[in-house]
């Protein structure tokens, strides 16, 4: 890889890391008290188009089933999700977000919107459209590597 290209890729990686740090700082100053992994699982279940079982979640977040089970247990203890026995397969549980979980998701989305507004300040809407298009392209290509 050319030196120039490597620097661009490193810059992208460092930017992603800095945004992650900013997200943590921004969220830690709010009432949102949930580990990032648990939040990822909560959002995965919430935005799923179909009933979600534990194995589906593990596949989506690319974690082993037992790690996902621990996160679901923690979310359930906090009344953010509930398990419902799958009527056609009693060995599987459907994971659903509770009203309390939806409330937390709404709070998270509000914070994310605030952060996105701050980060995109000074940029044209067309530049953002291009940026997200390129970012999506990179993400899809990286998944195939």
Could you give phi then psi for residue 83, rounded to 5 degrees?
Answer: -100, 135
Q: What is the pLDDT of residue 3?
A: 58
Instruction: Report yes or no: 98 and 80 within 8 Å, Cβ to Cβ.
Output: yes
Position 32 scores a pLDDT of: 77
- CATH code, residues 33-144: 1.10.10.10
Residue 97 has a pLDDT of 95
d(CA 93, CA 52) in angstroms, rounded, equals 8
The residue ranges of DSSP E strands in 17-136, in sequence order, are 52-53, 81-85, 93-97
Interior angle at CA 119, CA 116 and CA 124, nearest 5: 95
CA 122 to chain centre: 26
| Residue 4: predicted pLDDT | 58
pTM: 0.77
Identify the segments of the chain with pLDDT beneath 50. Answer: none
pLDDT in the model for residue 2: 60
End-to-end Cα spacing for the chain: 15
Rounded to whole angstroms, how far apart are CA atoms 43 and 137?
A: 22
> How far is it, in rounded angstroms, from Cα 84 to Cα 54?
11
């Amino acid at each position: 890889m050319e030196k120039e290209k490597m620097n661009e890729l490193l810059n992208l990686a460092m930017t992603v890391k800095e945004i992650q740090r900013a997200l943590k700082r921004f969220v830690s100053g709010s009432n949102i008290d949930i580990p990032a992994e648990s939040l990822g699982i909560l959002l995965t279940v919430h935005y799923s188009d179909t009933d979600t079982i534990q194995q589906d979640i593990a596949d989506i977040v690319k974690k082993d089933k037992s790690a996902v089970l621990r996160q679901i247990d923690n979310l359930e203890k906090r009344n953010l999700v509930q398990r419902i026995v799958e009527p056609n397969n009693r060995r599987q549980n459907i994971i659903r977000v509770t009203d309390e979980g939806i409330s937390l998701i709404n709070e998270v989305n509000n914070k994310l919107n605030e952060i996105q507004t701050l980060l995109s300040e000074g940029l044209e809407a067309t530049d953002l459209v291009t940026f997200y298009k390129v970012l999506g392209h990179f993400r899809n290509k990286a998944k195939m590597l």
